[in-house]
Every structure is written in C-alpha cells, then in structure tokens.
Amino acid sequence: MISKRTNSTFLIIKNYYNVWVGYNKNVQHNSYFKNSLDYIFKPRSIGIIGATERKGSVGNSIVDTLIKGDQIISYKSLKDIKEDSIDLAVIAVPRNNVVNVMHELKIKNVRGVVIITAGFKETGAEGLRLENEIINIGKTNNMRIIGPNCLGIIHSYHNMNASFASSDILKGHFSLLSQSGAICSAALDLSLQHNIGFSHFISVGSMCDVQFYELVEYLFYDVNTKYILLYVESIGDMNRFVAVCKKVCLYKPIILLKSGKTAKAAEAAISHTGSMVVVDNFEELFNMCKVLNSSKYPETNEVCVVTNAGGPGVLLVDNIIKNDGVLSNLNDKLKNNLNSFLPDSWSKANPIDILGDASPVLYKKTIDAIIKDDQYKNIIVLLSPQSVTEPLDTANEIINLKKQANEQGRLILCNYLGGTALEESANMLNKNYIPTFVHPEHSVQNLLKLYENIKHIQGIYEEIPEGLSRLSRKSLS
C-alpha cells in the first residue's frame, strides 16, 4: 500500500516495518556515487524503517525533521518498495528486528544505512551476536553502516536532518563527529547560542562499520567543511586514524576532545604527531570554534591589547605570558598617531589603556590606527562596563571596522568583561563573527593554542603528499 504525504497530511499504517521514503531535491542525480559514504551523506532518497505516528518516538521525530516540506511516501512494508529506490535507510525499529530489516534492505540493494537502535555489543553477548550478524549482512552487499546506537546524522546544506535531534541548525563550516549522541545534541544547542554554523553533525555510535578515519577523510573533500571537530572515547584503528589526520590537518584544522580512559593512549599517539589541536574540555572546544569563526588563523603569537581599564588589562597580560604569547611593543609611529587623539594620560604602552571614560569613537580611532599599522596582526579589544561606557555603540564601531581588518589580514577578538549590561552587545559581536568572550583568559588561550598548531603544521609542510599539495590552502586563510 502506498500513500502520499503532502506538507500537512499524514497517512500512517501502524506497523514496525512501516517505511517512509523521502526524496531530497537538493542532491543531484548521478548515475553512481564515487564514494560509498555518499550513499549516507548525499542520498537522493531516504527511507525511515520504523516510522510510527507516536509523538515523541524516535521514528516520528526523524520523519518530522527529515526533509522539511518535501514529499514523503509511506509504505506498509519494505517489500512494497522497488529495488534501488532507497539510497539511505535509517533504522529505528526495536533491537530484535534490526537483523531482519538488514536482510530486506540487502534485497532492495540499499547501500547506505544509519542504525539508531541501541542494545547491541554494549549490552553483552546476545547484543554482540546480533551486531556481528548485521556486520556480515552489510559486508556481503557493500553496505555502509553508521551506528548502531547513535543519534543519526545531519547535513545542513542538504537540509537533511536524519537524526532525532530536533533543533534547528545554522549552516556553516564546522563538522562534528561524536561518539556520544548527547554531546551532539548539546553541541547543537550551544552552537545556536554562540552563532557557530555547521555543515555536518555525525553521531557515530558504536562504529560497527564506518570509522572515524574514514569520516575525517570524507569531510576533507566536503567543500563546506573547513574545520573538523571530534569527540572521541575510543579511536578504533589508531594507525590509520593518525595517518589520515596527519594529512587532513594540513588543510583543515582538526580539533579533538578526548574522553575516558581508552583515549589516554590515543592522546599519546596523537600528541606525537602534533597535528591536531587537542582541547581539554567541552568549553574549550567551543571557544576554539569561536576564534575560528572569524575565518582567520593567527599568523603570530604577538598580541596588541586595547582596553578601557587597567586591572582587566593586567589579567589579559598574565594570560598572554602564561600561554607563551608576546605583548607587541608599540612602535614610535603608532605612538605618535595615538598621541594625536588619545587623552594625555593614556598608557603609552601595550596594553593600550584608553581610560575608563573611553567613548565608542575613541575605541574606533584606536583600533583603526592599529589595523593600519602592519606590525600588529592580533588585536584584542577589552571593554569593562564603567559609568560612561557605551557597550553597544562600541560594538557597532568594531563591527564597522571588521571588513577593513579582514582585508589587512588582522584578527580581532573581543573581551566584554561583564554580565547583564553587556549581554546584548556581546551577542551582536558574535553574530557578526567577531569572537567575543567574557573572560580574558578565553580569548588569548585559544588564539595562542591555534598559533601553536599552525606553527607546527608549517614545520611539517614539506611532508605533504603530491596529491594533496595541489589543493589550495585557502581554508586556513
């Protein structure tokens, strides 16, 4: 039985094998896919096996978010579906039915599979036996499998949300691979707040087939992915993983958050290659993304600071030194320039303290002068709320300077050191891709960590294989 679903009408048959198929107009029809993972990430058609009308159920949630507004057809059973009509199957049926579904998918020649269902090797002997059966079925027909026990996948540029994370997603240049579905959904929620756009979210689950190293390599060729984020508990094939990352990271920064005991060994291997940015915690992962959101890798570890307050300036300097950064010396030309419009009692040194009553215009003139001087590549602007401070107008002036700063190859980060009174202006800066932090340590620490990374990559640049060196390096600029 076949029924059509338009935007507002559903027709659902209550049956675990109920299958909904949707077509994605965003994907071009080619005669074949070059990479087997394309069946998963660029499917022209997606079948959801286990769709039900029960609100809050996983199957229902996936159908709801899948291809918004597109036509979806509902089938009573997989048997009703023509061979080769499904590229990607998302399985959300109870554990004991998964093996049967896999058999049927094989008959229908389905090549891409995401298994949401949990309860396999992580639950003991019987689960392991079932998982091995799944792997064997997949192998006989070159089926590629993500999962089991995962949240699903999202490809923002295809408007494809084949997961049960129900949030909206901002399009952008980060891709996240995560061994924890909850980390995926938490990251998705945080990304909306920090204005970080994503290309792919991939919850890998137990990785019975597709491994981290394959996905990293796959994302290397994804034009929308500029930065790859990894949340890893266990890495799988370590040698292959390190080899792939070592070449990918030359073009696309890889940021790794490792967790759990197994990852300790991995860390040793990874830090040996030095090719990835390893972060200590989830917050640092996000702060790093905020720095990268400005689309510029730091060229130097020298930092020039503009501040309206001495104390917070000192905190910032502490953090520059602690993180192996250097406070740039002010050259005479810049000093003379600043003398011409700053009040007499400005600091005459870096940090450039433009005093507690600094107006938006004074901030603007100061930053403008620094941008124009070729010596200063990294500029950190600190604002603390004092009685006459105008955080919003100051933010606007900084945003107006962004284009010029980009053209001159300058990196501007902001510290808006406060709470309630600064929230709106800090959000506005972030929205305009000027990475803005509350606390001084966050801006500097992440900036300098990225500099260390690029320095290392430049050091090993001659090792790039011939094939890769033909690709442009613009993702880093």
- Run of H or E including 469: helix 466-469
**Residue ranges that bind its own copies, judged by CB under 8 A:** 56, 58, 61, 119, 123, 164-167, 178-183, 185-186, 189-194, 231, 233, 259-260, 280-283, 308-312, 314-315, 317-319, 345, 356, 384-388, 417-423, 438-442
Q: Evaluate the CA torsion angle 64, 67, 69, 71 in order and state its sign.
A: negative
Q: Which is nearer to its own copies, 281 or 477 (CB)?
A: 281
Cα–Cα dist 48/71, whole Å: 14
- Minimum distance between the CB of residue 348 and its own copies, rounded to whole angstroms? 12
Asked whether the bond before 343 is cis by omega within 30 degrees of 0, the reply is no
- Minimum distance between the CB of residue 244 and its own copies, rounded to whole angstroms? 23
- Minimum distance between the CB of residue 246 and its own copies, rounded to whole angstroms? 25
Distances from the Cα of 259 to the Cαs of 179, 188, 281, 291, 446, in angstroms?
A: 10, 19, 9, 23, 20
- Minimum distance between the CB of residue 25 and its own copies, rounded to whole angstroms? 26
- Minimum distance between the CB of residue 477 and its own copies, rounded to whole angstroms? 29
- Minimum distance between the CB of residue 151 and its own copies, rounded to whole angstroms? 8
Cα–Cα dist 78/63, whole Å: 16
In this structure, what DSSP letter does residue 471 have? Answer: S
Q: Which is nearer to its own copies, 311 or 459 (CB)?
A: 311
The answer to whether 255 and 230 are in contact (CB under 8 A) is yes
Cα–Cα dist 403/365, whole Å: 15
Cα–Cα dist 17/29, whole Å: 27
Please give the biggest Cα pair distance in the chain: 83
Looking at 232-331, list the stretches that DSSP marks H as alpha helix, in order from N- to C-terminal side: 238-248, 262-273, 282-292, 310-322
- Minimum distance between the CB of residue 396 and its own copies, rounded to whole angstroms? 20
Q: Which is nearer to its own copies, 20 or 437 (CB)?
A: 437
Q: Which is nearer to its own copies, 61 or 475 (CB)?
A: 61
- Run of H or E including 161: strand 160-163
Q: Which is nearer to its own copies, 271 or 458 (CB)?
A: 271
Q: Which is nearer to its own copies, 260 or 409 (CB)?
A: 260
Q: Which is nearer to its own copies, 78 or 306 (CB)?
A: 306
